[in-house]
Structure 1
Amino acid sequence: MTMMAVMSMFSPLSTRRPTVTPGECGVAAARIREELCSAGLELDVRMCRPNRATSVIVAAESGSRIGGTKSDPRSRSDQGQHAVLSDQAALIQRTLDGTSMKPISIRAFGHNLAIAAVLAGALHTSAASAVEPSDNDALSLIITYQTAPANRPALRRELEQSTARELARWKHDGRIKQYNLLFNRYADSDNWDAMAVLAFATPDDLSRWRTVELTRPAALSGKALSVTTTIHTTPVDTKRAETLGTKSRNAVYVVIPYKTLVPMDEYEKYADGYVIPQFKGWMEEGVLSGYSLYTSQFPAGRPWSAMVMLQYKDEAALSAREAVVAKVRERLKNNPEWKAISDSKKNVRSEEQVVIADSVAVNQ
């Protein structure tokens, strides 16, 4: 697979072309080298015609050169992404007000690997942009763990001391995009004791997770596995998610599984029209700091097909839940679309057992 990242070091809307010295280009080259080497890439950076460069095109590639004619059996989605980014590169070139420039050449050695280098501050610029996958439909795994009541302290201790550390390392290495590790605050034999939610940036990243499973099944250490009785791993899509971006050590998580009773596309319309407006209202009221809606990719035989995770700011916010729910629903009655769904009383989903959990480790 060949991928590339294209970023403009100067705004195309700028009418004044900055003067760039060879020394500044050397600094930019060093910044590029530092950013990509930190991701484990070997590379060669060549700065060409620095005095006339008003944009930087950064490409991380394997298998073919950008603009070359070498055959590359990419998938249709990769070909489409390559074409879009090529168009972006051409657009940047056209906005250089007649200035010609040769791009930076970067050869990355790695297997099916591409990276977008963010170079804030280089060459008199304050920001750079990179193409990021949407949070919607992000590939994720929801893993739940159960242990005997007597082993709950041992499992939590191992999650805190080992699993949380490994998740942070895998996030840093780019194996996972986000993670959330929760622990059920109550002993409950009918429910899970711990849950990990792992998000991946691409299907390839999710596929590579199997290499972790070979040595640390379900991301657990040997000690954690020795006290774990059951593990359930569910591939899911992150359909809707929003967070205020604030992290609180006192956050409380409410995890609600559902069985959907209608086709998934119909359920998503229901969620957008009825459920999500309530979540947003709770955030406006100051009790909720984030929410996520997941749907199972393979729901047959599973105990749930959709799951909602709500992050309350603290215990006081959770205690105000019922009052806030009633207040927001009363306000939403003025929304004709929401009221129509509320009045229809159509059976769309059935709620399963709710779990109240605390965070062991989180990187959102």
Structure 2
Amino acid sequence: MNQIFKRTRAFFLLAAVLWTAFFGVAQATPFDSGMKGLVIEYKVAPANRPALYAYMREQGLDQLEQWKREGKLKNYKVLFGRYADSPVWDMMTMLDFADVAQAARWKEIERTMPAGLGPQALALVTSVETNPVDQWFEGGKSTSNGVYLVIPYDYLVSTEKYVSYVEGYLLPQVNGWLQDGALSHYNFYIGRYAVSRHWSSLLVLEYNGDEGIGQREKLTARVRAKLAGSDPVWEGWSKDKSAIRNTRQYILADELRKP
């Protein structure tokens, strides 16, 4: 009997090893290591918007580019809100780091240049919110004439369920917009330590110019109608979405680039 037990146990152990070899373990996610991104939002008085804009064009972008050359960050993008709008930010900077160690070293910059700004710009800013994030999804290709729509969400379920919702409901729509050509690129972030913050995930949509974003409503309706007739998983999530996330105020913005 012991021999039978040992052989049976050995069989199942071998089967487990083979299963892992062929099918792998649970899929890795960004949460398996430390965060590798920051989203920094800056608010200024309406009268100071032109001065902040000028500072970034004349000094701020050069400083970010220098840090990139020095290996202090992997990439960056700076968006400036198209309109003065008190409830939301005026400028947002998205920082991507090559690895966890590089991200951790950002604290050294914060000690002398809080939020990555010099004294001249800090004097203009009334508030800063810094959100540690992970990029979960990205698609398309960024262009030189992008018009951005930034959509913050606060999700109400576990992160695992929320990611399933994003994969089953949000991404099929976004990919449809990309295929149409009106949308050129997107990033989707999930925040770390999001308790009490005004958003816990962020969708950054880059449209193909003002003409592209002008087609948003019509395109959204067209893609949803197509999915409703062909994707039962998408249909299932569409009935449930109000219990999964709250949508915050959309922000229309343009990318700040050197002249």
Query: What TM-score does the superposition give when structure 1 sets the normalisation length?
Result: 0.60
Structure with larger RCO (C-alpha < 8 A, sep 6+): 2
Question: For each residue in 1:132-154, what CA deviation from the matched residue of structure 2 results, as whole angstroms up to 9, or x when unmatched?
Answer: xx996661000000111101000
Long gaps (5+) in structure 1? 1-133
- Deviation string, structure 1 residues 15-66 (Cα, Å, up to 9, x no partner): xxxxxxxxxxxxxxxxxxxxxxxxxxxxxxxxxxxxxxxxxxxxxxxxxxxx
User: Counterpart of 1:173 in structure 2: which amino acid?
Assistant: E
The alignment's C-alpha RMSD in Å is 1.7
2:76 alignment counterpart? 179
Q: Deviations over 1:74-100 (max 9, x none)?
A: xxxxxxxxxxxxxxxxxxxxxxxxxxx
Aligned-partner Cα distance in 1 for 2:60–2:187: 22
2:248 paired residue number = 352
Runs of 5+ consecutive residues of structure 2 not aligned to the other structure = 1-27
**Matches for 1:13-92 after TM superposition, within 5 Å:** none
Structure 1 residue runs of 4 or more that deviate by more than 2 Å after TM superposition: 134-138, 343-346
Structure with higher helix content: 2
Q: Distance in 2 between matches of 1:144 and 1:345?
A: 27
Q: Distance in 1 between matches of 2:127 and 2:238?
A: 38
Corresponding residue number in structure 2 for 1:239: 136
Q: C-alpha displacement at 1:339, in angstroms?
A: 1.6
Secondary structure of 1:283's match?
A: helix
How many pairs are equivalent?
227
CA contact (8 A) 2:154 2:199 kept: yes
Quote how far apart the aligned CAs of 1:206 are: 0.7
Contact 2:140–2:178 (CA under 8 A) maintained in structure 1: no
Aligned to 2:203: 308
Larger Rg, first or second structure (1 or 2) = 1
1:265 partnered with 2:160: yes
Is residue 2:54 matched to residue 1:160?
no
Is 1:205 equivalent to 2:102 in the alignment?
Answer: yes
Give 3-state SS (helix, strand or coil) of 1:255's partner.
strand
SS at match of 1:301: coil
Tell me the equivalent position of 2:45: 148
**Contact preservation (8 Å) 1:182, 1:361:** no
Which one has the bigger strand percentage? 2
Are 2:125 and 1:228 aligned?
yes
Could you list the per-position Cα deviations for residues 310-361 of structure 1 after superposition, in whole angstroms to 9, with x for gaps in the alignment? 0001000000000100111111120121122223455110001110001014
Q: Which one of 265, 270, 293 corresponds to residue 188 of structure 2?
A: 293
What is the one-letter code of the residue matched to 2:65?
A
Residue 336 to residue 219, structure 1, CA distance change in 2 (3 Å): same
- Cα shift at 1:207: 0.8
- Residues in 2 aligned to 1:143 and 1:256: alpha-carbon distance in whole angstroms: 15
SS in 2 for 1:186: coil
Between the aligned residues of both structures, percent identity stands at 38
Matching residue of 2:237: 341
1:165 alignment partner, SS class: helix
| Separation (CA, whole Å) in 2 of partners of 1:236 and 1:161 | 28
TM-score w.r.t. the length of structure 2 is 0.84
Mapping 1:61-140, distance limit 5 Å: 139-140=36-37
Q: What is the DSSP-based 3-state SS (H/G/I as helix, E as strand, rest coil) of the residue aligned with 1:274? A: helix
What CA distance in whole angstroms lies between the structure 1 residues aligned with 2:202 and 2:81? 16
Q: Aligned pair 1:218/2:97, yes or no?
A: no
Does 2:204 match 1:284?
no
